[in-house]
Amino acid sequence: MLSIYKHSHFLPNAFGHGGDKRTAQIEHLLAAAGMVVNKAELNYMIATGSKLSFYLSGLLHHTTLHTGNKSKYAIGRYKAIFEQFVKQYKPDLFIWESTIAYHLLLAEVLHKYNVPVVALPHNLESLVEGSASVFSGKLSPNWLFEEMDYLKYCTKVFTISREENWLLANYGINSAYLPYYPSPEAASFLLNIRREKESRMNSIKQGHQNILLLGTFHNPPTVAGFLQLLQHLKTIRGIKINIAGFGSEKFGDQFSGDNISVMGSVTNETLAKLIINSDCAIIHQQPSGGALTRIPELLLAGLPVIANTHAARSCEKTPGLHVYDSYQELTRILSGRNYVSPAVIEKPAEEQAFINYIKTLVGS
């Protein structure tokens, strides 16, 4: 039996944040491919060697990069850990999600020992506003080519967005698109919400619209974008806004009134009720990498989504998704209330393509 290992910074949780959900999808697909995958416990390995040897290794790693002494030491230490892992466990195939910071070195080490690597970056880190390279210290997006040089070591890279697939392919990287689709447990939960929502669609709605703002509000650019959005929404009459999700509590002191309710982190039961009772959801994102997991989830649950162009990347022509470029256009969409009912999203064909590809690597 082949020795297959996988490493991710996230735990597979169909009901967690976006990173957990993507990991849950990937693990489901690997199981569907019949793969027995071991967890690479890289975080618990202790590097053998002296601090000086680690520093010298890091010093020689990239002679043209002007990194500090701490970074040089860290580079050497991580390389030692990754080489120790390969020599001890001798993987035949490696599934790699942790494409961030010093873990980028993992691709180089695995390639050195001829271990095929299938990468599934949750997003291109160099395109996240404010991110910095641990190697050169450059800020995004100026270290994009550094990141892509590590991804070039991989046998194949599967991206969560079409745009990142296009970008990597243009850089000569063997890449493919693997969109997010909820794992079975989450999909069943969302489809149950859709059925309940559809059973109430015949009731006549009067008065204000219920608008859901759902997301993870820890990333500073995301928070800044939603603050701007809320400043605009609070001036629109006839709408009631419910804000829910990880970190949304921070909006409580700034926005409290008759038309804005801050829910904070909510249970699945409360989330289901919010979706059923909402007329639409608004998703707003600053320019960044990756793709949002909550857009296909809300559409699967039967809730129309209004998203700005940055949030709607990779799914702009999806039925039930309304895209706006400006706040004036958002106001027009809300005023019209002519939302397209989302069709049931089918499992993307790219999932089966991923399964088939993995099977070819292990000869099954």
Q: pLDDT tens, 224-270?
A: 778 888 888 888 888 999 999 888 887 777 776 668 888 888 999 99
Q: Distance of CA 331 to CAs 205, 241, 306, 326, Å?
A: 20, 14, 11, 9
Structure tokens at 25: 């999808």
Q: What is the pLDDT of residue 355?
A: 97
Please report where in the chains the tokens 């989504």 appear, as a residue: 305
pLDDT on residue 270: 95
Side by side, which strands form the sheet with 38-39? Answer: 38-39, 4-7, 93-96, 117-119, 156-159, 175-177
**Mean local confidence (pLDDT), 81-107:** 97
CA distances from 305 to 52, 280, 282, 340 (A): 55, 6, 6, 9
pLDDT in tens, 202-232: 554 567 899 999 888 876 667 777 888 888 8
pLDDT for position 204: 47
- The structure tokens listed for 184 are 């079975």
Over residues 317-343, the pLDDT tens digits come to 788 999 999 999 999 999 988 898 899
Task: Give, in order, the Cα–Cα distances in Å from 76 to each of 64, 79, 219.
Answer: 16, 5, 30
- Which of 274, 271, 276, 224 lies closest to 251, judged by CA? 224
DSSP state of 132: B
Average pLDDT rounded to a whole number, residues 151-164: 97
- Round the average pLDDT of the chain to a whole number and report it: 90
Q: Is 338 exposed, middle or buried (0-12, 13-18, 19+ CB in 10 A)?
A: exposed
Contact 198, 39 (CB under 8 A): no
More confident residue, 65 or 114: 114
Nearest CA to 283 out of 235, 233, 236 is that of: 233
| Concatenated DSSP letters of 82-125 | HHHHHHHH--SEEEE---SGGGGHHHHHHHHTT--EEE--SS-G
Residue-wise pLDDT for 5-18, tens only, equals 999 999 999 999 89
* pLDDT score for 247: 82
Does the global pTM surpass 0.85? yes
Name all contacts of 290-293 with Cβ < 8 Å and 24+ positions apart. 290/18, 290/122, 290/123, 290/124, 290/160, 290/161, 290/164, 291/123, 291/160, 291/161, 291/179, 291/180, 291/315, 292/18, 292/215, 293/18, 293/21, 293/22, 293/180, 293/182
Region 173-191: mean pLDDT is 97
pLDDT at residue number 63: 63
According to the model, what pLDDT value does residue 64 have?
66
Helix, strand, coil shares, percent, the chain, to 5: 45, 15, 45
Lowest mean pLDDT among 51-55, 111-115, 151-155, 201-205: 201-205
Distance, in Å, from the CA atom of 198 to the CA atom of 194, rounded to the nearest integer, reads 6
| Amino acid at position 252, single letter | G
CA 12 from chain centre, in angstroms, equals 13
At residue 306, the 3 state secondary structure works out as strand
| Mean predicted confidence (pLDDT) in 293-297 | 94
d(CA 58, CA 255): 49
Structural element, H or E, at residue 270 = helix 268-276
* More confident position, 200 or 143: 143
- β-bridge mates for residue 209, sequence order: 239
3-state secondary structure (DSSP) of residue 31 = helix
What percent of the chain has a predicted confidence (pLDDT) above 90? 65
